[in-house]
C-alpha cells in the first residue's frame, strides 16, 4: 500500500481479495487455489466458469470432494460454501458462522469467509474496496480505497514511495516492474486493477472466499515451495 501504513488504527481492510499481491482482508477473494502462494486463497475455476447454482451439492463432511468443486449448504445457518475439488470439510468445523474449515491431502487448512452482500466491501462506482473501523458497538465505514485516492490508503496499487502512487521508488523503479514483465509503472497498476476486478467478480458469484488457517506446504521438497 502506498504512503502511510495503517498505524495506531484498529482497522481491518475488508477487501475481497487476493491477487498476487492483494493481501488484504480482506481481500477477500476467490482466486486460483494455490497451496504454495500466500495465505489468502480461493477456488480454482474450470476454463468454462461454473455458476454457483450449477455446482453439485453432494458434499459429505469429512469426505474428500471429487468430480469438481461443489456447494455445501450448512444446515445450521443455511449459508453456502464452495468446497474445492480434492478438499474435505474438517469434522467438527462445518458451521459457516463459526468458521467452516477445509483441508487438503497434506494438511493445509483454509477457512471460508462468507460474503452474502459484496456491497458491504466494495464500491462498484469507484472500483474501490471499503475500509472499516470495528468497535464493541459495531462497525463504521471510514473510507474507500482505490487508485487515484490521494490519502495514502489505496489498494490495489503500486508502492512508489509517495502518497499518490506516481513516484519512482520501489515499484515505480523500472528495474523492479520490468522484472515482473511490465513495460511501465502504469502497466503494472493496470494489471493489479484487472486482477482485483476479476477477484471481485468471482467473490460476487461464489458469495465468499478462503483465507489460510494452517499451511504445511509441500512436504516432499527439501526447499520452500515457490
**DSSP secondary structure letter of residue 56:** B
Among 115, 77, 105, which residue's Cα sits nearest to residue 211?
115
226 occurs within a structural domain: no
- The total domain count for the chain is 1
Per-residue confidence band for 181, with pLDDT thresholds at 50, 70 and 90:
very high
Residue 97 has pLDDT above 60, yes or no: yes
Q: Does 86 or 172 have the greater pLDDT score?
A: 86
Query: What are the cell numbers at 124?
Result: 462498484
Residue 134 confidence class, pLDDT cut points 50, 70, 90: confident
Is 44 within the bounds of a domain? yes
| Residue 143 per-residue DSSP state | E
Residue 177 lies in a domain: no
Reported as a single tens digit per residue, the pLDDT across 27-44 is 333 333 433 333 444 445
**For the ranges 60-64, 117-121, 191-195, 213-217, which has the lowest average pLDDT?**
213-217
Q: Is the pLDDT higher at 88 or at 143? A: 88
The three-class DSSP label of residue 91 is coil
> What range defines the domain where residue 14 resides?
8-149+203-216
Q: Is position 198 within any domain?
A: no
Q: Rounded distance, CA 32 to CA 145, Å?
A: 24
In sequence order, the β-bridge partners of residue 27 are: 15
Q: Single out the residue of 199, 195, 216 nearest to residue 208, CA to CA.
A: 199
Mean pLDDT of 66-72: 95
pLDDT above 90 for 48 = no
Domain contains 82: yes
DSSP string, 92-112: T---TTT--EEE-TTS-EEEE
Mean pLDDT for the stretch of residues 170-190: 90
| Least reliable range by pLDDT among 24-38, 160-174, 195-209 | 24-38
C-alpha cell at 145: 480505497
User: 120 pLDDT band (50/70/90 cuts)?
Assistant: confident
Q: How many CB atoms are closer than 10 A to CB 55?
A: 17
Give CA–CA dist 61/12, Å, rounded: 31
Give a yes or no: residue 191 inside a domain: no
Check residue 96 and give its pLDDT.
Answer: 96
Highest mean pLDDT among 108-122, 123-137, 154-168: 108-122
pLDDT at 75: 95
Residue 89 within any structural domain of the chain? yes
Quick check: is 57 in a domain?
yes
Strands lying side by side in the sheet with 88-89: 40-41, 208-214, 109-114, 101-103, 88-89
List the one residue out of 102, 89, 94, 111 whose CA is nearest residue 25: 111
Which residues, listed in sequence order, are joined to residue 109 by a DSSP beta bridge?
A: 103, 214
Q: What does the mean pLDDT of the chain come to?
A: 75
Amino acid at each position: 500500500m502506498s504512503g502511510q501504513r495503517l498505524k495506531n488504527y484498529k482497522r481491518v481492510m475488508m477487501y475481497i481479495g487476493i491477487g498476487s499481491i492483494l493481501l488484504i482482508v480482506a481481500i477477500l477473494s476467490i482466486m486460483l487455489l494455490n497451496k504454495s502462494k500466500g495465505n489468502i486463497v480461493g477456488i480454482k475455476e474450470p476454463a468454462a466458469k461454473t455458476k454457483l447454482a450449477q455446482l453439485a451439492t453432494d458434499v459429505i463432511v469429512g469426505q474428500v470432494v471429487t468430480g469438481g468443486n461443489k456447494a455445501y449448504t450448512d444446515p445450521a445457518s443455511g449459508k453456502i460454501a464452495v468446497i474445492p475439488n480434492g478438499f474435505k470439510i474438517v469434522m467438527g468445523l462445518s458451521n459457516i458462522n463459526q468458521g467452516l474449515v477445509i483441508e487438503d491431502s497434506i494438511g493445509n487448512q483454509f477457512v471460508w469467509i462468507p460474503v452474502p452482500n459484496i456491497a458491504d466491501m466494495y464500491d462498484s462506482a469507484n472500483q474501490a474496496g471499503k475500509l472499516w473501523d470495528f468497535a464493541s458497538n459495531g462497525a463504521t465505514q471510514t473510507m474507500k480505497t482505490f487508485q487515484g485516492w490521494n490519502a495514502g490508503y489505496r489498494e490495489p496499487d503500486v508502492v512508489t514511495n509517495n502518497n499518490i502512487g506516481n513516484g519512482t521508488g520501489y515499484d515505480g523503479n523500472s528495474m523492479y516492474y520490468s522484472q515482473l514483465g511490465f513495460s511501465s509503472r502504469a502497466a503494472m497498476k493496470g494489471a493489479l486493477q484487472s486482477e482485483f476486478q476479476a477477484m471481485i467478480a468471482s467473490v460476487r458469484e461464489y458469495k465468499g472466499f478462503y483465507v489460510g488457517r494452517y499451511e504445511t506446504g509441500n512436504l516432499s521438497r527439501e526447499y520452500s515451495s515457490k
